[in-house]
C-alpha cells in the first residue's frame, strides 16, 4: 500500500466513525433499528437540524480535501440539503431524519470513490 492509500484509508476510518455517531450511534433494544445524534438533535425545534449541519459539512470538506471531484461533492451536498430541509418539517422531518442518514450516505459515496480511484486522485489539503 502506498502512503496516499494509507492516508485515504485513515481519513475514511475517521469519517466513518463520525458518520456512525451522527446516524447510527444508538440501537433500539431488541431490534436492528438504529439512529444517531442527527435524529436526536433534530428534535430540538428551530436549531437542532441546523446544528447537525456542522459535522455534515465537515465530511464534505474532508472529501474536498482528498480531491473528490465536484460532481460527487455536489451529490454529497444535495444529500445534506435534503436531510436539512426535510428535517425542518415538524414530526415528518423527524421521522425522515431517522431513515435518511445523509452522513452515512456521503461516507459510503466517498468510500466507493476512493476504492475506485485511489491510484489516480491526489490530495489537495
The model's pLDDT over 37-91, given as tens digits with 9 standing for 90+, comes to 999 998 888 788 899 999 999 999 999 998 899 999 999 999 999 999 998 888 8
Q: How far is CA 91 from CA 42, 86, 103, 108, 111, in A?
A: 10, 10, 20, 27, 32
Q: What does the DSSP 8-state code read for residue 28?
A: -
Q: What is the pTM of this model?
A: 0.86
Asked if 106 and 26 count as a contact pair (C-beta separation under 8 A), the reply is no
Q: What is the CA radius of gyration of the chain?
A: 15
Out of 24-28, 97-101, 111-115, 119-123, pick the least confident.
119-123
The domain locations on the chain are 3-117
Amino acid at each position: 500500500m502506498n502512503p496516499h492509500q494509507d492516508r485515504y484509508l485513515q481519513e475514511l476510518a475517521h469519517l466513518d466513525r463520525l458518520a456512525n455517531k451522527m446516524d447510527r450511534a444508538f440501537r433500539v433494544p431488541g431490534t436492528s433499528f438504529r439512529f444517531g445524534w442527527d435524529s436526536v438533535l433534530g428534535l430540538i425545534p428551530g436549531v437542532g437540524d441546523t446544528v447537525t449541519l456542522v459535522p455534515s459539512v465537515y465530511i464534505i470538506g474532508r472529501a474536498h480535501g482528498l480531491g473528490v471531484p465536484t460532481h460527487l461533492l455536489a451529490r454529497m451536498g444535495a444529500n445534506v440539503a435534503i436531510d436539512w430541509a426535510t428535517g425542518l418539517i415538524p414530526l415528518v422531518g423527524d421521522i425522515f431524519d431517522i431513515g435518511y442518514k445523509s452522513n452515512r450516505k456521503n461516507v459510503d459515496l466517498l468510500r466507493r470513490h476512493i476504492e475506485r480511484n485511489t491510484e489516480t486522485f491526489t490530495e489537495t489539503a
